[in-house]
Structure 1
Amino acid sequence: MELPLGTETVDVQLPEYDVTVAEPTGGDSVDVRRAAERALEEPLGRPLASTVDPDGDVAIVVTDVTRTAPDDVLLEAVLERLLACGVDRERVTVVIGLGLHRPMTDDEIESMLGEHADLAVNHDPDAVVEVGRVSGASEASSDGSENDDVPVEIGEPVADADTVLSTGVVEPHQYAGFSGGAKTVVIGAGSESLIGYTHGPDMLARDGVRLGRVEGNPFRETLDEAGDLVGLDFVLNLAYGPAGVLDVQAGEPRRVVHELAAAARADLSVPIDRQFDAVVCGVGAPKDATLYQATRGATYVALGDRNPARPGGRLVVPARLPEGAGEGTGERRFYRRLRDASDADSLYDEMRRGYEPGAQRAFVVARTLRDHDLVVTDTDSPGVVEDCLMQAKPHVTDALEFGDDVLVVPDALNTLFVDG
């Protein structure tokens, strides 16, 4: 079988193993441009024209290189609609929502946005403006104290705009349930304050904060509240299914996320009725550029509603990792935490008391490593992997043991396991 590896695939032959392949089967693909135009014409909530001041400045926040999205197509559709509303192109700034990831290069921006690359600026997390505060968790924090309100800080190009829009992807997310909506703006164009609070151990330990859940998810509710403070007026988001882009919706951020998440959840769910000795988690580009992102393949599988790996079983992630652990602030913090740890249990216990924004991925990796071995194969950065409490093996078959009952998940980031 062929599994994703970077922008290509790797051939994996497993004739000596009992193999089950987990592939969601639902959904037909749509033409992104036509679907985007239809969504803008029939939005969920107020039309774009009623939210825009033709004489005002517009900020459009888009996803960065770590997301798979036809940003150029979505942006083109929004810009054409803005022009029809009387907004000159010169009044638009496109903000690349980096969060704490590394800045995108000029070549990457041009490749992503095409002829509209000249409108784009990388988000600067150090140049932010406070626009309000969201309520801290009502539960006591790990040190026994109550959390104060949390400042919502947003990048200056967004704070200065009269209208704030975003494009993005509603896809399974470890904490928000599904990404997209307000998350693209308040995390992608925000500061360490909100990232640190929402990604901290107290928030991640709360009931409802889990992969695939939107309703009753405190993480998602905090993002939506912050989006209101930022003034996010309108979004154009899409969701992926097994065959490609499943649907595109536009309009009020909460309604768009709920609509696309419901459709995606139906089409990405795979019933499972037993656990396996080894689970091979396909990732591919752009997520397998860094260890920080590639580990999502393992944690999405292990920490979802239904873990298909038995206790003590192995999670195997083919990942090229051309950028090693990653070069952004969050990626460096992730690497240092894992590199300096002696074992997963002590790291988890230490981080349960708190950590710096960006290091949360080390926290969930440590949580996963308490129950499973994590093996990265076919990588250009085996030393980085071995530094981080994980194992590096040349190929998938080197990570398996004779007689293993193996589950292969070709797209681990877009597969939701449920009880069978």
Structure 2
Amino acid sequence: MDLPLGTGTIDVSLPDCEVTVARPAGSTPVDVRTAAERALEDSIGAPLADRVDPDDDVAIVVTDITRKAPDDVLLDVLLERLEACDVARGQVTVVIGLGLHRPMTDEEIEAMLGPHADLAINHDPESVVEVGTVADGDVPVEIGEPVVEADTVLSTGVVEPHQYAGFSGGAKTVVIGAGSESIIRYTHGPEMLAREGVRLGRVEGNPFRETIDRAGDLAGLDFSINLSYGPSGVLGVRAGEGRRVVRELASIARDALSVPIDRAYDAVVCGVGAPKDANLYQATRAATYVALGDRNPLREGGRIVVPAALPEGVGDGTGEQRFYRRLSGASDPESLYEQMRTGYEPGAQRAFVVARVLRDHDLSVTNSEAPEVVEECLMHAADGVVDALEPGSEVLVIPDALNTLLVD
């Protein structure tokens, strides 16, 4: 079978194992531009024309290189609609929502946004303005100056399964992508992540999602255009009020991406591919999505195998480096998990959830360009998938682990 690796695939054969492949049913994909234009015509809530004035300065917050989003198409459609509202191109600033990821290079921005790259700036988490508080006033919501200074705030995004928010998208692009360490520290801290309802695939009754949505109100998010993915491509596009956009697309995605699991396996092989397998920080999402989702398909002591290219090693951003320092400096997963339960710096949350998984399961990363980094981070490196598995194992293969929801 073919599994993703970087922008290509690898051929994986497991003749000595009993293999089951988990493929979501999906649905018929849509053309992104056509669906985006239709979404703007039939927006959820007030249309864009009612949310922007001709003399407004507009900030559009878009996802960064770690998200698989056709931001060039979504941005093109948004700019056309803004022009129809008599908003000139020169009134628009595109803010790349980095969160604590590294800044994108000029070449990467041009590749991502095409003819609109000249409008884009990287978010600077050090240049933020407080717009209010959440958590009963204890946590300031700080947003990048270009967003705060805009008269109208728009966002793009992908509504995809997310370890904490249930599904990403909506206000998350602005609050996390164009926010500061304060809100990331609170929403990604051990107290929040331990709360009931904070889990993959859940939107309703999810305290993480609710906090992000409240912070989005404070940030002045006026309008979102988001999409969701399935096995064959884009499942749908919705535009309008952020909360409702996320909920509609999450419902579509949940129906298309769920795979029932009725047995336990010795090992799970998780496909990732670009852009998420660019670094170890992002690629480990596959392991945590599988082991900490609705249905962990592994037997006690079962192994997780993730083919990942890792051309950036662990990753260069602030969050990625904090993740690396925590894992590489630990003697074992259990002691790291217990230590981090008392708190950690923003960005290190991925080390926390990875440690949580590693307490129960070995994690092997194969086919990578950075095996030494893998070994330093309490994981195992192997040349290929077959090298990471015991002959005779019962193996579940998930070709697209980040867009598959395992359920009972």
Give me the TM-score of the superposition, normalised by structure 2: 0.99
Runs of 4+ in 1 over 6 A off after TM superposition: none
Deviation at 1:157, TM superposition (A): 0.3
What CA distance in whole angstroms lies between the structure 1 residues aligned with 2:318 and 2:17? Answer: 41
1:153 to 142, 160, 184: 142
Correspondence 1:14-29 to 2 at 5 A: 14-29=14-29
What CA distance in whole angstroms lies between the structure 2 residues aligned with 1:374 and 1:17? Answer: 18
Match of 1:145 in 2: none
One-letter amino acid matched to 1:53: D
1:171 to 157, 160, 166: 160
Match of 1:393 in 2: 382
Identity percentage of aligned residues: 76
One-letter amino acid matched to 1:344: P
Matched, 1:377 2:366: yes
Matched, 1:88 2:77: no
One-letter amino acid matched to 1:401: E
Deviation at 1:159, TM superposition (A): 0.5
Correspondence 1:51-130 to 2 at 5 A: 51-130=51-130
What CA distance in whole angstroms lies between the structure 2 residues aligned with 1:152 and 1:21? Answer: 43
Aligned residues: 408
RMSD: 0.6
**Secondary structure in 1 aligned to 2:9?**
strand
One-letter amino acid matched to 1:61: V
What CA distance in whole angstroms lies between the structure 1 residues aligned with 2:175 and 2:113? Answer: 21
What CA distance in whole angstroms lies between the structure 1 residues aligned with 2:289 and 2:170? Answer: 20
1:247 to 236, 258, 268: 236
One-letter amino acid matched to 2:176: I
What CA distance in whole angstroms lies between the structure 2 residues aligned with 1:259 and 1:399? Answer: 39
Match of 1:308 in 2: 297
2:188 to 199, 213, 237: 199
One-letter amino acid matched to 2:263: R
Match of 1:338 in 2: 327
Match of 1:264 in 2: 253
* Structure 1 residues 226-280: Cα deviation after superposition (integer angstroms, max 9, x where no partner): 0000110000000001110000000000000000000000000000001100100
Correspondence 1:181-192 to 2 at 5 A: 181-192=170-181
One-letter amino acid matched to 1:199: H
Match of 1:139 in 2: none
One-letter amino acid matched to 1:2: D
What CA distance in whole angstroms lies between the structure 2 residues aligned with 1:315 and 1:205? Answer: 23
Match of 1:364 in 2: 353
What CA distance in whole angstroms lies between the structure 2 residues aligned with 1:415 and 1:385? Answer: 24
What CA distance in whole angstroms lies between the structure 1 residues aligned with 2:329 and 2:367? Answer: 24
* Structure 1 residues 36-84: Cα deviation after superposition (integer angstroms, max 9, x where no partner): 0000000000000100021010000000000001000000000000000
Give me the TM-score of the superposition, normalised by structure 1: 0.97
What CA distance in whole angstroms lies between the structure 1 residues aligned with 2:377 and 2:298? Answer: 21
**Secondary structure in 2 aligned to 1:355?**
coil
Match of 1:44 in 2: 44
Deviation at 1:310, TM superposition (A): 1.2
For structure 1, the 5+ residue unaligned runs are 137-147
1:290 to 279, 292, 308: 279
Deviation at 1:16, TM superposition (A): 1.4
What CA distance in whole angstroms lies between the structure 2 residues aligned with 1:284 and 1:56? Answer: 40
Match of 1:320 in 2: 309
**Secondary structure in 1 aligned to 2:311?**
coil
One-letter amino acid matched to 2:18: D
One-letter amino acid matched to 1:241: G
